[in-house]
């Protein structure tokens, strides 16, 4: 009986120790923040579409398309034809698509997101999900109930 208890304690110590230390120090800070690289997922196909880099500047979050995953071979370097203003006809790679989000309780709000395919600009909310491995991105017009949500995977 005592040896069974000792074996269980040893196994718990071995396997539990790796998990207990997994979310401490700099790693925990990275998981608690959307700063970093995110793989966007296409709403229709469910496939990875691009890598977006999110960074902080003066207390606000910004995001830029770093590269496209599996772009259309007929249009390897797409531009934002539907965009307006200074984004019109600019390459999607390198384009700023998130700006002005500020920390708000358990998420980030008050910012804007651009959909390079449609050229439309939406208000935006961000929050971390699944222990910081996913980013919930909510784009909307007017009220947050009138919009759509995507989940991006941490790269």
- pTM of the full predicted structure? 0.79
* 51 and 15 together in one domain: no
* 68 and 117 together in one domain: yes
* 90 and 53 together in one domain: yes
pLDDT higher than 80, residue 53: yes
- Residue 2 belongs to what domain range? 1-28
Q: Which of 2-11, 50-59, 129-138, 145-154 has the lowest mean pLDDT?
A: 2-11
Find the CATH number of the domain harbouring 120.
2.40.128.520
SS (H, E, C) the chain: CHHHHHHHHHHHHHHHHHHHCCCCHHHHHHHCCCCEEEEEECCCCCCEEEEEEEEEECCEEEEEEEEECCCCCCCCCCECCCCCHHHCCCECCCCEEEEEEEEECCEEEEEEEECCCCCCEEEEEEEEEHHHCEEEEEEECCCCCCEEEEEEEEC
* 17 and 85 together in one domain: no
Domain count, the chain: 2
* 77 and 24 together in one domain: no
Give me the percent of the chain exceeding a pLDDT of 90.
Answer: 70
* 58 and 90 together in one domain: yes
pLDDT of 144 reads 76
* 100 and 114 together in one domain: yes
pLDDT of 15 reads 32
* 71 and 6 together in one domain: no
Residue 92 structure tokens:
């999607």
The set of long-range contacts for 107-114, using a CB threshold of 8 Å and a minimum separation of 24, is 107/136, 108/34, 108/61, 111/60, 111/61, 113/63, 113/137, 113/139, 114/80, 114/83, 114/87
**Residue 16 — very low, low, confident or very high, per pLDDT cuts 50/70/90?**
very low
* 75 and 135 together in one domain: yes
CA distance 53 to 39: 9
* 9 and 48 together in one domain: no
* 47 and 87 together in one domain: yes
The residue-averaged pLDDT of 96-124 equals: 96
């Amino acid at each position: 009986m005592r040896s069974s208890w000792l074996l269980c304690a040893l196994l718990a110590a071995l396997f539990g120790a790796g998990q207990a230390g997994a979310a401490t120090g700099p790693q925990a800070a990275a998981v608690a923040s959307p700063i970093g690289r995110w793989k966007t997922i296409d709403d229709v196909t469910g496939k990875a579409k691009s890598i977006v880099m999110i960074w902080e500047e003066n207390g606000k979050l910004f995001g830029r398309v770093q590269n496209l995953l599996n772009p259309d071979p007929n249009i390897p370097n797409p531009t934002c034809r539907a965009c307006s203003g200074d984004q019109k006809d600019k390459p999607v790679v390198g384009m700023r698509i998130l700006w002005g989000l500020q920390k708000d309780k358990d998420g980030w709000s008050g910012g804007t997101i651009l959909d390079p395919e449609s050229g439309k600009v939406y208000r935006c909310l961000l929050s971390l999900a699944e222990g910081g491995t996913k980013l919930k991105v909510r784009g909307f017009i007017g009220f947050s109930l009138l919009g759509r949500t995507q989940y991006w995977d941490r790269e």
